[in-house]
Structure 1
């Protein structure tokens, strides 16, 4: 062989790279791990889908298997997905398709299945040749606008087709439907949530970008599992939302019927196998681990779960219940909020999860608007050409007729009339019938519509706030279309005896001073007196301190405490230290984390508060706001905002209303206005409200009364100098809100300004307390009934320099219990 010709062995040797086997194994394993993480096991934070879910939905979209089409054989859908986008086993694809159709696995199923797709008993789906499927309507929201250049596309596995790298996802699917998966060295387990709650939190984040995780948790109460059940406690949920990890206890819903001697289970924890549960309970009964059960039946049907546990005659139902809870009726859901962010796995808290979604949605809406703007601009350009041609229709027709062919006509139009190439092409293809005057009107109308849309799109693209407003509107539309009520509730762990169990249940009076001293006393300490009495000492205050609030409550009540700063706190009555009436009280700093100069203005008992009722608030400057009771859940120890106040304004009073009551607002100078509650629309917690009463200069709101003509007889008014009166409801004619109202009581030098206005009936007691600590309790019938616009009578005899500071009404039921 010539020396100029290279030796083939040397060439091959030069192409070989030496590598340490441990380094090669390490790198190969990392490559494999990342392939599993990104390509199979973990969802994308933007659309909440793994590749297999995304490919199934896109394949159905491309095949036209939408919610409006007929069902298609599952085997056909699996085949198209596997052949075009997902080169893996058909069984894995079908298992994923089936799970997306199971209403016990997905909070909002993405596939509308027809046939046997498995059961909560762990039964597998029927073979794919027997079942049919199509997209559920909500799944189409994940794919909406995908043809409008809203997301990036990538080549499929054999470069024949393209597939979306992510779906547009018109709602935060990762949190709404959750996800679970095991990758190499990591796993994810995101629980499902209620659609309305997640969208409310997303809107809150868009409108208030500096919202904290705690603020968002006021909307997202916790996981909302498709099988319902109860979450035990809230601490684990809060930890999961703040850190991305947590262990949530989920308990079955059951009813203990001691009279019938049975326990009926109606809801199970998420992902619990019902048939296996019944089998395990039976095994424990046979082995003697659980005693007191004589029969066990599964009476479940299509209407829901019903497992009946029949007890022996001498069995204690509470003991059996505790045994079932310990071993079978409670499971732990380990939250691991792990998702792909820019292709890399990341554990996210609640705010971070929503932030990534919002950024994705902004990109989608921006790209969609740019795409539509280009289309509309092209259309406007064509319409401009048509209008221009119609203005010179005779010349245009003659030019076309004189041309040898279309190309010549197009060139003549461009040169003779300054049409663009696109306009000229469109004109030469127009039919002669398109040159009528009626056609001109239609083109002009379309041109106006197109130009108006172009202006709107340019506004959206030029103003981030407008773009966000589009996202918010679309989210709210989806919440309205697909939202439903929560299925999973919260309960406290009542498995052991608590301090509350050891406290006797009794009616109490709670007193708080301006210097934040607080105490409670039995209501029986203050017997009813005739009006005009001085009362008895209710608090021995230190020098310079004065009583700021007094209210009546049961020792076991859970109370919502509203302050003049518009904050709301939650308080258990028994947590307030019980002391004698001559005691000063103890510092409230350990009970209510109130700011300086913050005082209690109103207290609402949560035991009397229904979900369909409202908390109606009034401020010193005359504003009124009505908020649904459900908005005031998950109250933190530091309180939450109940109403947004303008500078200098304060919250004055709060009443519970049911949507059909009348409102009476009383002012310090003795004015009052009555109007229908419906005139104040329901608003969110952070709203300011609307004007309820038009106050004269120097006047301020004293309080509000909620009147139900079927329950109340009079309006009771009390003034600072200890005078008051009762007036019939008919004395206060209805008006429209935002009026000045009518004279309620003459104030002046004798009476002083109004302190409180209340709706009362027979049997109610008036509890009045002075700033110096005197408390007087009297029957409301002791206060004379007089007409409106009068002076009233003496209610409480005050000492020199003393004044009525606060008033509460003890209703007949509490009075009866006290007696």
Structure 2
């Protein structure tokens, strides 16, 4: 939620506009009557420089930038001060609070009301009652006369202390207001701040309450700490470039998008600084531009965000999620500029510096409060001792005291009588102390009790000792103070924003192919507007296309509605940069009568609209055979030569797999020196690039080919991935990089149909623990290995062929020895839908896998199970195990 800029135009005072008849070169002038002439021009030298500087300084120091000591702008500080003055524990109308604040803030009720609503929406210093708006939807608060506010318990405990507050006169001199509030908490980092001044701006992101307290404790103990932003709107944040909040630092924020099903996406958390309305507008705009394909958007947001995105038929939900991050406000970059007021001037700091300053200030305030408390206790102890001496020694009954001619004589007499007892007192006796003794009423003297006085003195000495102990162990006291705050107020302030590394979304790869590419070979045009020409492929309006010509020239250009390319094009398609899997197989003739060469190459990048050549560039060169293979396939071609005298071979075959893949500038291998009549495809081949290594990055829950995360192995085109969730659900997928996976994955690996899995789980229907062995199934349909009851609980899942399992008993059966089970001997391999065999009727505390006594040999090529894997004939449900009684 952006804060109020708090910029207000200042009118120049009338004095500044008075005539100045002195000759000069001032920046401004006034022309009476509107006539311009030598006698009518009046120069105002220096007016702009002096008054504008005053205006700029005022806006920076008094309007837009927070103070480092309390993290508040003046209007916020004045609101809190006014609320403290009228605080009686009950709610006050916001209109009343605004009126009270106007005694200190000279800029009208509108700015005060807006600032108060923003403070209330941060849910830290102010308890709100009524409709205070919604930061998720952007709905505004009700009118000030309808809503109420009071200071929170946290604010009363940490923000105010008149004994340690430095005061100044209000703008009209009728009241006093704090220079800064004595806040004992890093409020600036908890709430964040944003403001725009003259030539200066400040933007500090909010942080988590509990993490700030932990960082303050670490700072007190001299330990290292790291702080990252946390937003009320939740979402995801990538802090790789946060740079400790320094000027120029940046974070990427994302909405949290989940799949309800293959046709519906749900946004449950939104990025910082945006509302559901602005987010939906950006989604609709992207849909209108054809970047994404959606059917409709439903906004069900109330207390929690719920935006449902219904996809058009045939649209990939995984690809749409990436497209939402690439083309809408679902992902945005937020830049920081941590600027604060310190020593009456702006200063740029890091988040760590702000927290250290706040921690040191809290330490100093706690020390000052303890010293004030000690001084008050010592004063109370002094007067309790002095009062006892005055009463027990019956100084008030002395004849000389009663007959004293004036007050000075009476004071002098009491001072003489107290002289023998002064060594017992903790400080000197002053005239004011004696005058205070003389004000004691007779009823109090008659009710004086020495035992109660002894108890009071003992209590005061104990309190003083406690305070002095805190002062001598001030750091430990401050740590306990922070930990007390966390214990009292931290339970309902968990981190809302998940810190995660974002994978880079390439817009060209996720843009919806909302256009169709056509080529008119006769006229020599390519584009998306040639509806009656030859269809090439689907594309997006931000794609690049690559064109190969019969002459051997190729170039890359931007997709457009219609562009002239010439009539010699032999191949056109969408171009993907850094694509090493697409291999071009070429046979070309060098010059008009030169050798014929064969080559294979990839095009990973090129300058747009620049011409390149796959031949040697000799005039008259010609491509005789061309193919583009998306996964490096190498076909076999049949070459027919033109008959020639004494030429023995007229037809031969050539396998492209015999040719190494090299760069596009390579010459290639000589295919034949004879003149070629025709080349035709003999047989399609398989990929020569081998399998592709695939990794799974748990930080971003995505597959990649870059070596990030855990290796899943080498995948060929027909290989699958097995995913098992912690809930027991499992399914298989392809290894496309656009796949999205859940964050509760138990295991993910390449699917192997020959594996036998062993599971130990608690069956909620039967109330017992079961063991089952089963092969996994290759199906994109989700199944649960334990059954449909959501109360089933998985203890163990392993793919060991001969697992050995230890079952530890608990509850009333914890005295029994653990059970050791050879799973392959205990139960046979059956369907995943089988319940398995009951392990025991006793209460099970835990299940662990032990080192197997023997391992399986390498699997046979036919995938047949070993003898021990043959299913047993015993009943899977009713038979008691050997370990039951």
Residue matched to 1:450: 460
Residue matched to 2:480: 473
Residue matched to 2:220: 206
Moved more, 181-190 or 128-137: 128-137
1:323-402 to structure 2, matched below 5 A, reads: 323-326=323-326, 327-393=328-394, 395-399=395-399, 402=402
1:190-229 to structure 2, matched below 5 A, reads: 190-208=204-222, 211=223, 215-217=224-226, 220=227, 222-229=228-235
**Higher normalized contact order (CA 8 Å, seq sep 6+, divided by chain length):** 1
Checking the alignment, whether the CA contact within 8 Å between 2:67 and 2:340 is kept in structure 1 is yes
Rounded to whole Å, the distance in 1 between the matches of 2:356 and 2:504 is: 39
How far is the alpha carbon of 1:268 from its aligned partner? Answer: 0.8
Rounded to whole Å, the distance in 2 between the matches of 1:299 and 1:385 is: 72
Checking the alignment, whether the CA contact within 8 Å between 2:253 and 2:271 is kept in structure 1 is yes
Of residues 498, 502, 506, the one that matches 1:493 is 502
How far is the alpha carbon of 1:207 from its aligned partner? Answer: 1.1
Checking the alignment, whether the CA contact within 8 Å between 1:399 and 1:412 is kept in structure 2 is no
Rounded to whole Å, the distance in 1 between the matches of 2:54 and 2:329 is: 42
How far is the alpha carbon of 1:43 from its aligned partner? Answer: 0.6
State the Cα RMSD in Å. Answer: 4.1
Residue matched to 2:239: 234
Is 1:118 the counterpart of 2:133 in the alignment?
yes
SS of the counterpart of 2:340? strand
Of residues 35, 38, 41, the one that matches 2:58 is 35
Checking the alignment, whether the CA contact within 8 Å between 1:170 and 1:475 is kept in structure 2 is no
Rounded to whole Å, the distance in 1 between the matches of 2:382 and 2:21 is: 60
Is 1:99 the counterpart of 2:118 in the alignment?
yes
How far is the alpha carbon of 1:99 from its aligned partner? Answer: 0.8
Q: Gaps (5+ residues) in structure 2?
A: 1-17, 28-44, 423-428, 510-579, 581-693, 700-707, 715-724, 727-805, 811-815, 820-844, 858-885
Checking the alignment, whether the CA contact within 8 Å between 2:170 and 2:177 is kept in structure 1 is yes
Checking the alignment, whether the CA contact within 8 Å between 1:171 and 1:478 is kept in structure 2 is no
Checking the alignment, whether the CA contact within 8 Å between 2:292 and 2:324 is kept in structure 1 is no
Checking the alignment, whether the CA contact within 8 Å between 2:87 and 2:150 is kept in structure 1 is no
Q: How many residues align?
A: 502
Q: Gaps (5+ residues) in structure 1?
A: 1-11, 503-553, 560-570, 578-606, 609-706, 712-726, 731-758, 768-775, 780-819
Residue matched to 2:184: 170
Rounded to whole Å, the distance in 2 between the matches of 1:16 and 1:371 is: 59
Of residues 489, 498, 501, the one that matches 1:482 is 489
Question: 1:492-538 deviations in whole A, cap 9, x for unaligned?
Answer: 3245599xxx9xxxxxxxxxxxxxxxxxxxxxxxxxxxxxxxxxxxx
**Greater percentage in helix:** 1
How far is the alpha carbon of 1:438 from its aligned partner? Answer: 7.0
Question: 1:57-107 deviations in whole A, cap 9, x for unaligned?
Answer: 001111225xxx221111111111112x111121001100011111xxx2x
Which structure has the bigger radius of gyration?
2
Checking the alignment, whether the CA contact within 8 Å between 1:383 and 1:447 is kept in structure 2 is yes
Residue matched to 1:299: 300
Residue matched to 1:180: 194
Moved more, 274-283 or 189-198: 274-283
Rounded to whole Å, the distance in 2 between the matches of 1:778 and 1:448 is: 80
Change over 3 Å in CA distance of 1:93–1:437 after alignment to 2: closer
TM-score, with length taken from structure 1? 0.55
Rounded to whole Å, the distance in 2 between the matches of 1:490 and 1:356 is: 26
Rounded to whole Å, the distance in 2 between the matches of 1:228 and 1:13 is: 59
Residue matched to 1:532: none
Change over 3 Å in CA distance of 1:423–1:249 after alignment to 2: same
Rounded to whole Å, the distance in 1 between the matches of 2:241 and 2:213 is: 22
Residue matched to 1:253: 256
Rounded to whole Å, the distance in 1 between the matches of 2:20 and 2:403 is: 70
TM-score, with length taken from structure 2? 0.51
Residue matched to 2:106: 87
SS of the counterpart of 1:248? strand
How far is the alpha carbon of 1:476 from its aligned partner? Answer: 1.5
